[in-house]
Amino acid sequence: MSDKVRIALDVMGGDHGASVVIPGAEISLGRHPDIEFTLFGNRAAVAPVLEAHPKLKANASVVHTEIAIRMDDKPSQALRYGRWKSSMWLAIDAVKKSAADAAVSAGNTGALMAMARFNLKMLPGIERPAIAALWPTLKGESIVLDVGASIGADADHLVSLAAMGSAMARVLFDIERPTVGLLNIGVEEVKGLEEVRQAGQILREGDFPYFDYVGFVEGDDIGKGTVDVVVTEGFAGNIALKTAEGTARQLGQYLKSAMSRTWQARLGYVLARQAFRTLREKMDPRKSNGGVFLGLNGIVIKSHGGTDAEGFAAAIDMAYDMVRYELLAKITQSHARDRNTTMTARAAGGGRP
Amino acid sequence: MSDKVRIALDVMGGDHGASVVIPGAEISLGRHPDIEFTLFGNRAAVAPVLEAHPKLKANASVVHTEIAIRMDDKPSQALRYGRWKSSMWLAIDAVKKSAADAAVSAGNTGALMAMARFNLKMLPGIERPAIAALWPTLKGESIVLDVGASIGADADHLVSLAAMGSAMARVLFDIERPTVGLLNIGVEEVKGLEEVRQAGQILREGDFPYFDYVGFVEGDDIGKGTVDVVVTEGFAGNIALKTAEGTARQLGQYLKSAMSRTWQARLGYVLARQAFRTLREKMDPRKSNGGVFLGLNGIVIKSHGGTDAEGFAAAIDMAYDMVRYELLAKITQSHARDRNTTMTARAAGGGRP
């Protein structure tokens, strides 16, 4: 890593492309002046917006490409026309070639996953990447994974999510033995999907010295912070994440309209405005935008496709932290150590057969 | 229906049994003095709590049984020891025998569904029951189904959920042609589970004159009120519901602590307390506790197992409304009419092949 944190952006990704990515990058640059950006995208789209953001322009180089991945293409289609040359591919490829320390894209999730996997390759022992989200809770933060990289998961994949997620929690939260729960629709052992039940059995009966499996958790346990790591497959995880974001926005609206209905409420609002500001920040789902791809040889951050500049900036902030604090390397080391411990234990006849 | 609304309660159901069910019934009775309760449960558990609630006692009869369905039994186990004689069975059976107009239970969901289905039977053309939840949104309310009756659903079941949900929306919201969306993890047609994609295709290409299928919706669309009816299978639906409830509680906590941090905030809170009261009511997930079993020949309401008296009262309120306004009959008629329309259209060569 150079002194600068070098971040590659897929400027064409997301619902709004350059008009969100570029202002977002400038916001994040304001917070982290040591970022150096490379912007991958169509110069015709990038240049005019960049002109309006001179601070960013001074800290960014532009790499032109005419190919952009469409939001509604299948990963296989995207790979066919977008490999080697699309803005998404080039951003990932910059990480591969060590020209950048991390890549951020708000583009098509499936395509991003396929390209990242194809180009960066997976870490030893991991079959499929996962997207991990940092979820604000009443106790602080938890890690929820997978929130959309892979649809459906067998028991073994869920167990590997537990391992990856707990390695991430150990590094991010500095907890020696993070607690892990499996997202299910009831705490009773008999409920839920077959894969989730099987994973529960493996985690319960197995010998995992590096995390503490506490059992099934339900949707409302996520916000309570019942466990450090919530494990689920990508369909349910993504629905949980977006539902929580939608609920936060909805309650923000309720609050706003309640506080403007009477003069007493308006006066109360003025008096308590600092408290409301803090609250608004806490309730703002954009603040926790940005999912980390886990399991890859390189840092790739997925931003929501529909986010605005503030949300995209949060995804860049996350990439920055991953690089500056060498989080991916630490997570990888931690995961490798755990894996060796387990394998040694198994070879010695311990652990699950 | 008699002049009274006769509600059968499974007093032994839920995490807290009589200590929640009985105070909950008294709260609901306060709002609806024309309810007449039959309480099914173990007299040893019921009587002492009932003594402390004289108003309810005056409007309730107790039917003793020593059998209670455990929360962690499989439906098949529950049927084996609980059929004919458990408090849950007897409450449902009162509906079957027209001794009650509706049954409410906070007990084991799987067992409740199995017993209701076994005893009350399904409506014509419906294979499996669904639990429908009324979800408060920025635009009013939407119906979300299924929120936990059945895990996994093929495309045909999802289509039948769309039909049942839209019949319920028509009756409850008085909309001639409700909008319907399929819950998915992206609006792009290519994303998500195979079953959801297939259902999307059937709904898009089919001829359903009685609802307006608008396509895929995501988790954050639920709270926005993007559609009147959100269709999903029970695993994802239950996780979405509980995650939203958890988020609402979490934000309520944030609000509370923000409003007590400084004297300005505390003063602001005092001034705006009426607004906060309204807000608290809106944010309170207990207010929308109570899922309606759809597809059955009779009214059965499922309350959350972990709810408190206020939440259980909301589930009884829902049963009351279903009975008082003859909602189930209207939903059933509406659904039957839709079904005939579709079948006639198909027979005439219209609709999907």
ipTM of the prediction greater than 0.90, yes or no:
no
Q: Is the pLDDT of residue B187 over 60?
A: no
For residue B344, is it within any domain? no
A259/B245 touch (CB, cutoff 8 Å), yes or no = no
| Helical H segments across chain B, by residue range | 18-31, 43-51, 54-57, 75-82, 87-96, 109-120, 155-173, 194-205, 219-224, 234-258, 263-271, 273-283, 309-324, 327-347
Residue A352 has a pLDDT of 45
Please state, as a whole number, how many other Cβ atoms lie within 10 Å of the Cβ of residue A260: 12
Residue A330, classed as helix, strand or coil, is: helix
- B268: which residues sit within 8 A by CB, 6+ positions away? A267, A268, A269, A270, A271, A272, A273, A275, B259
Task: Examine residue B340 and state whether it is found in any structural domain, yes or no.
Answer: no
Contact state of A71 with B188 under an 8 Å Cβ cutoff: yes
Structure tokens at A182: 């499996």
pLDDT at B5 over 80: yes
Q: What is the DSSP letter of B140?
A: E
Question: B1 and B140 in one domain?
Answer: no
Closest Cβ–Cβ partner in A186, A189, A261 for B275: A261
The two three-digit tokens of residue B320, written as one number: 């009351």
The verdict on B161 and B78 lying in the same domain is no
On whether both B95 and B223 belong to a single domain, the answer is no
The share of chain B scoring above pLDDT 70, in percent, equals: 94
Whether B348 maps to a domain, the answer reads: no
Give the pLDDT score at A350: 44
**Inter-chain touch B239–A239, beta carbons under 8 Å:** yes
Q: Which pLDDT tens digit goes with each residue over B287-308?
A: 888 899 999 999 999 999 989 9
Which of A144, A247, A280 to mutate: most B Cβ within 10 Å? A247
Best to test chain B binding among A69, A194, A250 (most B CBs inside 10 Å) = A250
In the sheet that holds A291-294, the strands lie side by side as: A60-64, A35-41, A5-10, A102-105, A299-302, A291-294, A130-137, A140-145, A229-231, A179-183, A212-217
Contacting residues for B324 by C-beta, under 8 A, at least 6 apart: B5
Q: Where is A166: in which H helix or E strand?
A: helix A155-173
Among B267, B290, B313, give the residue marking a domain's end.
B290
CA distance B182 to B159: 9
Say if residues A191 and B239 touch (Cβ distance below 8 Å): no
The per-residue pLDDT of chain A, averaged, comes to 90
Burial of B352 (0-12, 13-18, 19+ CB in 10 A): middle
Of B290, B309, B344, the residue at which a domain comes to its end is B290
Question: Confidence class of residue B351 from pLDDT cuts 50, 70 and 90?
Answer: very low
Chain A residues close to B223, C-beta within 8 Å: 243, 246-247, 249-250
With a CB cutoff of 8 Å and minimum separation 6, the contacts of B4 are B34, B35, B36
The nearest alpha carbon in chain B to A272 belongs to B265
Instruction: Find the closest chain A residue to B75 by CA distance.
Output: A190
- Chain A residues close to B133, C-beta within 8 Å: none
**Residue B107 sits in the same domain as residue B151:** no
What is d(CA B262, CA B267) in angstroms, rounded to the nearest whole number?
A: 9
pLDDT value of residue A288: 81
The answer on B29 and B83 residing in a single domain is yes
Do the beta carbons of residue A38 and residue A103 sit within 8 Å? no
Cross-chain Cβ contact A218/B270 below 8 Å = no
Nearest CA in chain A to B251: A283
Same domain, B118 and B134: no
Q: Assess whether B37 and B160 both reside in one domain.
A: no
Residue A219 contacts by C-beta under 8 Å, 6 or more apart in sequence? Answer: A183, A240, B238, B239, B240, B241, B242, B243, B244, B245, B246
Domain that holds residue B101: 1-122+295-325
Which chain A residues are Cβ-neighbours of B186 within 8 angstroms?
Answer: 109
CB contact under 8 A, A108 and B219: no
**Domain-embedded: residue A321:** yes
Contact assessment for residue A192 and residue A185, using Cβ atoms and an 8 Å cutoff: yes
Integer Cα distance of A168 and A195 in angstroms: 23
pTM given for the model: 0.90
Indicate whether B117 and B131 sit together in one domain.
no
Task: With beta carbons under 8 A apart, name residues in chain A contacting B183.
Answer: 239
Average pLDDT, integer, range B40-57: 96
Does residue B193 share a domain with residue B241? yes
For chain A, the domain total comes to 1
Q: Determine, yes or no, domain membership for B347.
A: no
For A79-112, letters b (16+ CB in 10 Å) and e give beebbeebbbbbbbbbbbeeebbbbbbbbbbbbb
- Domain end, chosen from B242, B263, B290, is at B290
> Best interface-test mutation with B: which of A242, A264, A282 has the largest number of B CBs within 10 A?
A242
Residues B116 and B139 in one domain: no
What pLDDT sits at residue A206? 87
Residue B272, pLDDT score: 86
Mind telling me how many Å the CA of A282 is from chain B's nearest CA?
8
Per-residue pLDDT band for B352 (boundaries 50, 70, 90) equals very low
Question: Does residue B238 have a pLDDT over 90?
Answer: yes
B110–A191 CB contact, under 8 Å = yes
Instruction: Note whether residue A211 is domain-resident.
Output: no
How far is A290 from A270, CA to CA, in rounded Å?
33
**Which segments in chain A show pLDDT lower than 70?**
1-2, 187-191, 342-353
**Token output for A199:** 């994973």
Write out chain B residues lying below 8 Å of A146, CB-based: none
Residues B281 and B255 in one domain: yes
Please check whether residue B317 lies inside any domain of the structure.
yes
CA–CA gap between residue B121 and residue B114 (Å, rounded): 10
B167 found inside a domain: yes
A225 CA: distance to closest CA in chain B (Å): 10
Task: Clarify whether residues B171 and B68 are in a common domain.
Answer: no
Interface contacts A/B by beta carbons within 8 Å: 214
Judging contacts by C-beta atoms under 8 Å, the chain A residues touching residue B274 are 262, 264-265
Of B220, B274, B279, the CB nearest to A243: B220
Interchain CB distance below 8 Å, A219 and B259 = no
How confident is residue B322, by pLDDT bands cut at 50, 70 and 90? very high
* Residue B233, domain CATH: 3.40.718.10
